[in-house]
Amino acid sequence: MASLQQILYKVNIHSVVGATGIEITDLQIDSRKVKPGSCFIAVRGTVSDGHEYIQTAILNGAVAIVCETIPQIINEEIHYTVVDNSAKAAAIMAHNFYGRVSEKIILVGVTGTNGKTTVATLLFKLYSSLGYKCGLISTVQNQVGTEILPSTHTTPDPISLNALLAKMYEAGCSHVFMEVSSHAIHQHRVDDLQYAGGIFTNITHDHLDYHKTFDEYIRVKKSFFDSLPSTSFALSNADDKRGSIMLQNTKAKKYLYSLKTMADFKGRIIEDSLLGLELMVDDVEVHFRLIGTFNAYNLLAVYGAAICMGENKEKVLQVLSNTTGAEGRFDYIVSLQEKIVGIVDYAHTPDALLNVLATIKNLRHGEEKIITVVGCGGNRDKTKRPEMAEVACEYSDKIIFTSDNPRNEDANEIIKEMEVGVPVTARRKCISITDRREAIKTAVTLAHKEDIILIAGKGHEKYQEINGVKKHFDDKEVLAEMFQLMEK
């Protein structure tokens, strides 16, 4: 509980109706969750406008309303605060309400198109192994020490996020590693948080259904680094052509990591196989359990961040050499008899799919065939659908187009939009099977000894969303089941 005046610290206020000294029991941006004593913040969202639910919030017990436009009908028992931007206000107020926890811990944000989950997870595992109690906020799961909490968004809404940070602090966490999505930056969910450091992985075409243009997508990502204070570090991928752009206006201490050019943290791939990566990291040769060039970049980012935070180089590399990645990221199993390799990966952008398939192609030691099962999510960026198909065709010997999470779209129509990207010369090696389970079964049936099956797009997800309904579906679980049936 805190006074409204305390909670409004740093918020840009236009006007106030009623005293601000009242006590607030909690903050809400969802009128349905309001209870007696709540402060309701009316946020204009992409789907609905919170201003339309002010009366509902009052009926549910709200004693204070924060809004951009004051209602026509004023309830004299309610305290109204008019602000210039409710979304920004929500983030600042949540930070204040939960004790400005980000100023009391070491908070590191990871942003970029691909690799966010792996980098955040590796940092969490590294620092936990180094003896710190840590928090993790990621697409796969949230974690407070050893306690695992479900994750609904890459980056939670500002109230949930600050409540989670408070829970982590109260549990004794000294470090928190979190993914920072472009949606979260644009919607001000992470405003006012004090980051000890920010990491940029890479940027490729994604979320254009939301950001509309690639330039806007880049601008939003860059704004995260622009907001970092001089006391923090900003670590960027020098091999991404926008890597240096991200650091242009930041006040933070600037660092670069690279596999190709001179950088503060330099790596070189010695060997890449199904047994792991052999890397030269700042003149030290290290074997890692992770696989692929993309993971070489992820490992360099984690290593660089740890050194920026003052950790011992040798100890960091020793721990990282035995660390596994995030669930659903190049997650593989091998059939017992035929030694068919089945890989499950979250790759859901053209660039991510290309990285995974290029890695698989390089890992082959003979004439093994690559069979790719891939789909695209519904109600998301449509421009990447033909690109995903084109990439799959370029690197695969057989492609099965299937449903991903069609959501409220027709899965068959999504597949047709993917098929537009199939080159004429590749049509004979493509088939379409809408049912994802049948698609995986068919891939296993088509595979011969030591062939490689990639099931892309869903990774760690344990559900498939069709017509707004989520039903249990686990790619790795289905793949293992099909391997068992094949070998009976």
- Whether 326 is covered by a domain: the verdict is no
Query: 3-class DSSP state for residue 386?
Result: helix
Average pLDDT, rounded, for the chain: 93
Would strands 26-28 and 2-3 be described as parallel, antiparallel, or unpaired?
Answer: unpaired
Verify that 58 and 193 share a domain, yes or no.
no
Interatomic CA distance for residues 78 and 63, integer angstroms: 5
| DSSP string for residues in 308-364 | HTT--HHHHHHHHTT----TTSSEEEE-TTT--EEEEE---SHHHHHHHHHHHHHH-
390 Cβ contact partners less than 8 Å away, ≥ 6 residues apart: 350, 421, 422, 423
- Domain boundary among the residues 320, 339, 372 is at 320
Tell me if 316 sits within 8 A of 125, measured CB to CB: no
Count other C-beta atoms under 10 Å from residue 462's C-beta: 14
Nearest to 176 by CA among 409, 354, 190: 190
Residue 156 pLDDT > 90: no
Verify that 288 and 194 share a domain, yes or no.
yes
Residue 12 pLDDT > 60: yes
- Domain boundary among the residues 265, 291, 320 is at 320
Confidence of residue 461 (pLDDT cuts 50, 70, 90): very high
- Whether 256 is covered by a domain: the verdict is yes
Tell me if 411 sits within 8 A of 383, measured CB to CB: no
Give percent above pLDDT 70 in the chain.
98
Verify that 358 and 303 share a domain, yes or no.
no
Interatomic CA distance for residues 394 and 366, integer angstroms: 18
Give percent above pLDDT 90 in the chain.
82
- Whether 325 is covered by a domain: the verdict is no
Residue 205 pLDDT > 70: no
Q: Is 472 exposed, middle or buried (0-12, 13-18, 19+ CB in 10 A)?
A: exposed
- Whether 359 is covered by a domain: the verdict is yes
Interatomic CA distance for residues 292 and 314, integer angstroms: 22
Verify that 254 and 311 share a domain, yes or no.
yes
- Sign of the Cα torsion 281, 285, 288, 293 reads positive
Torsion of Cα atoms, 459 then 464 then 469 then 470, to 10°: -50
pLDDT (average), residues 421-441: 97
| From 63-67, 133-137, 149-153, the region with the lowest mean pLDDT | 149-153
Verify that 207 and 303 share a domain, yes or no.
yes
Confidence of residue 441 (pLDDT cuts 50, 70, 90): very high
Verify that 204 and 280 share a domain, yes or no.
yes
Tell me if 291 sits within 8 A of 276, measured CB to CB: yes
What's the pLDDT score for residue 131? 97
Verify that 72 and 221 share a domain, yes or no.
no
Interatomic CA distance for residues 426 and 69, integer angstroms: 56
Task: Give this prediction's pTM.
Answer: 0.83
Residue 132 pLDDT > 70: yes
Confidence of residue 214 (pLDDT cuts 50, 70, 90): confident
Bridge partners of residue 285, in order along the sequence: 280
What's the pLDDT score for residue 211? 44
Count other C-beta atoms under 10 Å from residue 36's C-beta: 9
Interatomic CA distance for residues 360 and 363, integer angstroms: 5
Helix pair 475-486, 436-446: axis angle to 10 deg: 40
- Sign of the Cα torsion 158, 47, 375, 426 reads negative
Distances (CA, A) of 60 to 80, 83, 231, 488: 16, 22, 43, 59
Verify that 274 and 336 share a domain, yes or no.
no
- Domain boundary among the residues 287, 320, 353 is at 320
Interatomic CA distance for residues 43 and 54, integer angstroms: 10
- Dump pLDDT digits (tens) for 88-120: 999 999 999 999 999 999 999 999 988 999 999
Structure tokens at 199: 């990491």
- Whether 229 is covered by a domain: the verdict is yes
Verify that 225 and 251 share a domain, yes or no.
yes
What's the pLDDT score for residue 326? 84
Residue 152 pLDDT > 80: no
Residue 46 pLDDT > 80: no
- Dump pLDDT digits (tens) for 297-356: 999 999 999 999 999 999 999 999 999 988 888 898 999 999 999 999 999 999 889 999
- Whether 126 is covered by a domain: the verdict is yes
Tell me if 309 sits within 8 A of 197, measured CB to CB: yes
- Whether 353 is covered by a domain: the verdict is yes
What's the pLDDT score for residue 169? 98
Nearest to 436 by CA among 403, 399, 389, 471: 403
- Dump pLDDT digits (tens) for 232-281: 999 999 999 899 999 999 999 999 999 999 999 999 999 998 888 999 99
* Number of domains the chain is built from: 3
Domain hosting residue 58, numbered range: 2-97
Interatomic CA distance for residues 257 and 265, integer angstroms: 5
Verify that 27 and 78 share a domain, yes or no.
yes
pLDDT (average), residues 122-141: 96
Verify that 277 and 162 share a domain, yes or no.
yes
Verify that 272 and 359 share a domain, yes or no.
no
Give the CATH number, domain containing residue 74: 3.40.1390.10
Tell me if 96 sits within 8 A of 6, measured CB to CB: yes
What's the pLDDT score for residue 400? 98
**DSSP 8-state code for residue 49:** B
Interatomic CA distance for residues 377 and 470, integer angstroms: 13
Nearest to 313 by CA among 304, 325, 322: 304
Give the CATH number, domain containing residue 454: 3.90.190.20
What's the pLDDT score for residue 299? 98
pLDDT (average), residues 43-58: 91
- Dump pLDDT digits (tens) for 347-363: 999 988 999 999 999 88
pLDDT (average), residues 39-67: 94
What's the pLDDT score for residue 150? 79
Structure tokens at 212: 């509309």
pLDDT (average), residues 75-86: 95
Interatomic CA distance for residues 439 and 450, integer angstroms: 19
- Whether 125 is covered by a domain: the verdict is yes
4 Cβ contact partners less than 8 Å away, ≥ 6 residues apart: 20, 21, 22, 23, 24, 39, 64, 79, 81
